[in-house]
Amino acid sequence: MQKSGLVKSSKYAWVVLILLVLMQFVYAGITLSTVTLYMEPILNAHPEVSRTAYALTITLNGGANAIVSIFFGKLVDKFGLKKMISFCSILMIAGVILYAKGTAIWMFYLAAILEGISLCFCSGASCSIIFSKWFAHSTGTLLSATAIGSGLAGVIFSPIVSNWINTIGWTTSLYINCAIVVFTAIILIVFLKDSPEEYGVKPMWNDKVKIADESGAIIPYGVTAKEAYKTVQFWCGTIGIGLFGLIIYGAICNIAIFSSDLGYDGGVMLSVMYAANIVLQLPFGILADKLGIRACMVAYSIMAIASVFIYATAPAIGMMYFGTILLGGSFCILKATLPVYTLQIFGNRAQGQLMGIMIAVMNCGVAFGMPVLNAAYDITGSYSGMFKLFGFLGIVLAIMIFVGCKPIKKVVDEKKAIESGEKASANA
């Protein structure tokens, strides 16, 4: 039965898409993409804090995100995504305020934990769940479009925030960030809808891909979580995703201060990275839809390996830009491709649960990437050695990803059965 006049047809899916882009723009973009710019001014304001000690904020952020991600699927099933996004918006606001008012390292640690929890539900994973309910086709392409929001925010706001920090101070800059988050949260709470079924409409392009029944509900297909745990794809993919988190976020979280050490503008370098991410995001999404996820994942691996090996040489400005462009391309995996990966390899039957586990493992890698690099810097005075080690780990990651990207036969067979109209067989 259709409710209220808010949603009259599946065309409201386009409104949902715009809202998801906005959420990525603000939460995963403005908030997350600029966080490394605050590292240097905070350390200058607190000379008693080492780079390694401050880098533990990323460990706590990633650790909190990893723990909550384990329960992602269950929390979504129990409370719904809209309620979780609303609650986590409040946590993010509290985290930003704590960063701004921080007078001791424990306050930064607490802020990092709150933001880590909030980003579990205010980033790519939630986008993919809501998105897959509203759109039945071209998921790779359009999910990439939502992730462009965060990349665009990085391009626009990295130099702006860098200028704010230098002119009005880092605390005032954070208060502006907080105001933007509050405004966005209100918009999402009012207009974002969990799914079309509760309004009696079908997903967009339901007629192109027969993955929904007559009521518009998505037909489950693929493996259960227990079945996935017994596959090589799950373990190779999960370990590979964890290594991606370690390597990519280790580099991203240090790129601003690393660039500054070399005499380059950290805000500009972040802007270049996010610009590359925007440019490459949509092509990779199309590639995932047309050629399958393996081609995308291998491409990401190669770019990640090349970027950290370039950084290891303390490059001149031209090569620094090139390495940063490659890093921006590899970053696509953590923003849009992971949901497509879990869908293509394992199906939709346990997608939320499996993606939650992979995000948790990825964030374990994220949690250690920045601290390890900064510990190496505090000991040796250079990031070079650890960047080289990350490059060799990237080769291992590429192998794991290649093996883990082979679709499971049951998933392929059930999806074909659904698309051919053999729904009873598929459900059986």
pLDDT band per the 50, 70, 90 thresholds, residue 110: very high
Residue 245 has what pLDDT? 82
Give the pLDDT mean for 77-87.
Answer: 78
Cα–Cα distance for residue pair 264/248, rounded to 1 Å: 20
Supply the pLDDT for residue 8: 47
- Give 129-179 pLDDT, tens digit per residue: 677 677 765 555 666 666 666 667 777 887 888 888 889 998 898 888 888
* % residues pLDDT > 90 (the chain): 2
Domains and CATH numbers, the chain: 12-201+221-427 (1.20.1250.20)
Model pTM? 0.63
Task: Say yes or no to pLDDT of 219 above 80.
Answer: no
Convert the pLDDT of each residue in 330-351 to its tens digit: 876 655 577 778 888 888 787 7
Per-residue confidence (pLDDT) for residue 168, from 0 to 100: 92
Does 180 score more than 80 pLDDT? yes
Residue 118 has pLDDT above 80, yes or no: yes
Question: With contact defined as beta carbons under 8 Å apart, do 343 and 132 qualify?
Answer: yes
Give the pLDDT of residue 405. 81
Q: Does residue 190 register a pLDDT over 70?
A: yes
Mean pLDDT (whole number) for 71-91: 78
Cα–Cα distance measured from residue 222 to residue 234, given in angstroms and rounded to the nearest whole number: 13
Q: What is the pLDDT of residue 10?
A: 64
Q: Is residue 54 predicted with pLDDT exceeding 80?
A: yes
Instruction: State the pLDDT confidence band at 359, using cuts at 50, 70 and 90.
Output: confident
pLDDT at 105: 86
Question: What was the pLDDT predicted at 288?
Answer: 67
pLDDT at 428: 45
How high is the mean pLDDT of the chain?
A: 78
Most trustworthy range by pLDDT among 283-292, 303-312, 322-331: 303-312
